[in-house]
Amino acid sequence: MSNLISKKIRGFRDILPKESKKFLHIEKIVHYVAPLFNTHQVRLPALESVDLFKRSIGETSDIVTKEMYSFEDRNNDILCMIPEGTASCVRLALENNLIYDRGAKKQRLYYIAPMFRHERPQKGRYRQFTQFGVEFFGDSSTKDDIDLLLLVSKIFEKLNLVDLELSINSIGSAVDRKKYSQELTKYFNLHNDELSDSQRNTLANNPMRLLDSKDPKIESIISSAPLITDFLNNESQDTFNSIKERLDTLKISYKHDPKLVRGLDYYNDLVFEWKTDKLGSQDAVCAGGRYDNLSETIGGKSVPSVGFAMGLDRVAELINYESNELTIGLAVITDNQNDSYKALSSLRNLNCQFNLIHMDNDKSLSKQIKQADKSKCDILLIVGNDEISNNTFTVKYLKCDKKDHNISCENLIDLITGYEV
């Protein structure tokens, strides 16, 4: 057996305490904003049937054919670690009668869950990533489309992310996309010699996916390709115009990108992406759209739906966040070990949040003060024999010029909640 320390798997990563605090900050904002839009949290299983994603994403999609972590279990079931959350959330909602009962029911759900894809690791792309997703069910009007975009905008506002660009498009109905795909196939066949074998395979199976290609060799070909906006039916065109008018009224800036089609088979009508120029080719931070037929595709009744997925790993790379959590040190200078436990228990029972560090109480007070400084404590609470007798703490401020003073345990909450880090 090797004596070398085991290493993490390529494409996976360890999230250390400093960055983990970023994730907690993002998730706290998510949990604050989602209920403002009457959206309720669900928790997705890590494993699903491969068949779910074959039916939803598409049997010939890259995710299904190349990227899923799939395996046969001991019951001979073909399972996979979930590669995306929308299909799993729709399955959850259908199976638990949340969105259909003698007709479509309005329901708004969100989840935060790890996803798994065997992709080429690069900045902003990992083989395990955390996805925040929101799915609105039961309303075919543009109200849900607009509310969904407002929800994302509010989260980015709270995160102080102002340099993201919203791109929107309409990909119409299934009939529109079929006509468009036929026209795309004719167009790309004229450039067949310039396509790779993989791109020819994509063209044969789903030509619209070629528009998502990041290959610079066919960039000019894509830029001259036909536009889906020329194939939209009147209803889809009117719906898209209505969405643009509402966004203009709400002063939500956006760009109409007629080449935006999204890479998953289940979308119809509105599709959108929030992009950044700070993560290289992995520029999509949040993306989604309407998928009115997905529930029927996976075996349920038709339920109008719209949703998005946001990559929290990418968001974490974009935000500037330093925790402003108060850090308190505890120095006990009595000979009785039980005094430490009593003081720690008193502090841990306070109904407020802070970071608590117990100094090494076998050291002198001066050394414990140095230890607190080195640990970047804001405040040091000192407990000696007098404090034990009077049930108080001596407060020593380490990052400001306030004088030391005594305080009762009952008044500590006001001190902690009122302290500005």
Q: Please, which pLDDT band fits residue 336 given cuts at 50, 70 and 90?
A: confident
Residue whose token pair is 């030391």? 404
Classify residue 208: in a domain, yes or no. no
Contact 352, 417 (CB under 8 A): yes
Tokens of 39: 């959206």
- The pLDDT of 83-104, averaged and rounded, is 92
pLDDT digits (tens, 9 = 90+) for 394-404: 999 999 989 99
**Inside any domain, residue 142:** yes
What is d(CA 147, CA 361) in angstroms, rounded to the nearest whole number?
55
Which pLDDT belongs to residue 263?
63
Q: How many residues does the chain have?
A: 421
Residues 265 and 386 in one domain: no
| pLDDT > 70: percent of the chain | 99
Instruction: Report the distance separating Cα 280 and Cα 297, nearest Å.
Output: 35
> Quick one: pLDDT at residue 158?
96
Question: Is a pLDDT exceeding 90 seen at residue 202?
Answer: no
In the 8-state DSSP scheme, what is residue 125?
A: B
What is the chain's alpha carbon radius of gyration, rounded to the nearest angstrom?
27
Would you list the DSSP string of 218-276? Answer: GHHHHHTS--GGGG--HHHHHHHHHHHHHHHHTT---EE-TT---SSTT-EEEEEEEE-
- Give the C-alpha separation, 271 to 212, whole Å: 13
12-37 tens-digit pLDDT: 999 999 899 999 999 999 999 999 99
Q: Let me know whether 314 and 333 are in one domain.
A: no
Backbone angles phi, psi at 50, to 5 degrees: -60, -35
Residue 5 belongs to a domain: no
What is the pLDDT at residue 1? 58
Is residue 305 domain-shared with residue 403, that is, in the same domain? no
> Do residue 251 and residue 269 come from a single domain?
yes
Could you give the CA distance from residue 127 to residue 115 in angstroms, rounded to a whole number?
8
Judging by DSSP bridges, how do beta strands 165-170 and 255-256 pair with one another? parallel
Query: Is the CB of residue 285 less than 8 Å from the CB of residue 318?
Result: yes
Residue 151, C-beta contacts closer than 8 angstroms, at least 6 positions apart? 33, 34, 36, 37, 39, 134
pLDDT digits (tens, 9 = 90+) for 132-173: 999 999 999 999 999 999 999 999 999 999 889 999 999 999
Considering the domain boundaries, does residue 257 fall inside one?
A: yes
What is the chain's mean pLDDT, rounded? 92
Domain span holding position 48 = 17-172+232-318
Q: How far apart are CA 161 and CA 238, in angstroms?
A: 31
* Alpha-carbon distances, residue 383 vs 89, 235, 351, 399 (angstroms): 52, 73, 20, 20
H runs (alpha helix) in 115-208: 142-158, 174-189, 197-205
Does the pLDDT value for residue 209 go beyond 90? Answer: no
d(CA 369, CA 377): 10
Residue 181 resides in a domain = no
Burial of 1 (0-12, 13-18, 19+ CB in 10 A): exposed
How far is 395 from 412, CA to CA, in rounded Å?
A: 10
* Whether residue 342 is found in the same domain as residue 367: yes
CATH of the domain at 333: 3.40.50.800
Q: Is residue 219 situated within a structural domain?
A: no
Residue where a domain terminates, one of 318, 353, 376: 318
Tell me if 158 sits within 8 A of 32, measured CB to CB: yes
Give the Cα-Cα-Cα angle 398, 404, 410 (nearest 5 degrees).
100
Q: Is the pLDDT of residue 405 over 70?
A: yes
Same domain, 306 and 343: no
Domain boundary among 257, 291, 318: 318
pTM: 0.89
The partner residues of 268 in beta bridges, in order of sequence, read 290
| Residue 43 pLDDT level (bands cut at 50, 70, 90) | very high
- CATH code where residue 64 lies: 3.30.930.10
Question: Which tokens in the block code for residue 123?
Answer: 């900045």
* 340 and 285 both lie in a single domain: no
Domain contains 58: yes
Torsion angle (degrees, nearest 10) of CA 284, 288, 109, 311: -10
Could you read off the pLDDT of 250-285 as tens digits, one per residue?
Answer: 999 999 999 898 766 789 999 999 999 888 777 889
Shared domain check, 135 and 255: yes
Boundary (domain end) residue, out of 318, 348, 378: 318
Residues 6+ apart with CB under 8 A from 25: 319, 321, 323
How many other CB atoms are there within 10 angstroms of residue 369's CB atom?
19
Closest CA to 42 of 83, 77, 94, 103: 94
Would you report the helix, strand and coil content of the chain in percent, each value rounded to 5? Answer: 40, 20, 40
Residue 286 lies in a domain: yes
Count of domains forming the chain = 2
- Please give the pLDDT value at position 2: 64
pLDDT tens digits along 339-387: 999 999 999 999 888 999 999 988 999 999 999 999 999 999 999 999 9
Residues 389, 268, single domain; the answer is no
For residues 291 and 359, state if they share a domain.
Answer: no
Secondary structure of 49-78 in HEC code, one letter for each residue = EHHHHHHHCCCCCHHHHHHCCEEECCCCCE
Same domain, 287 and 398: no
Do 345 and 280 sit in the same domain of this protein? Answer: no
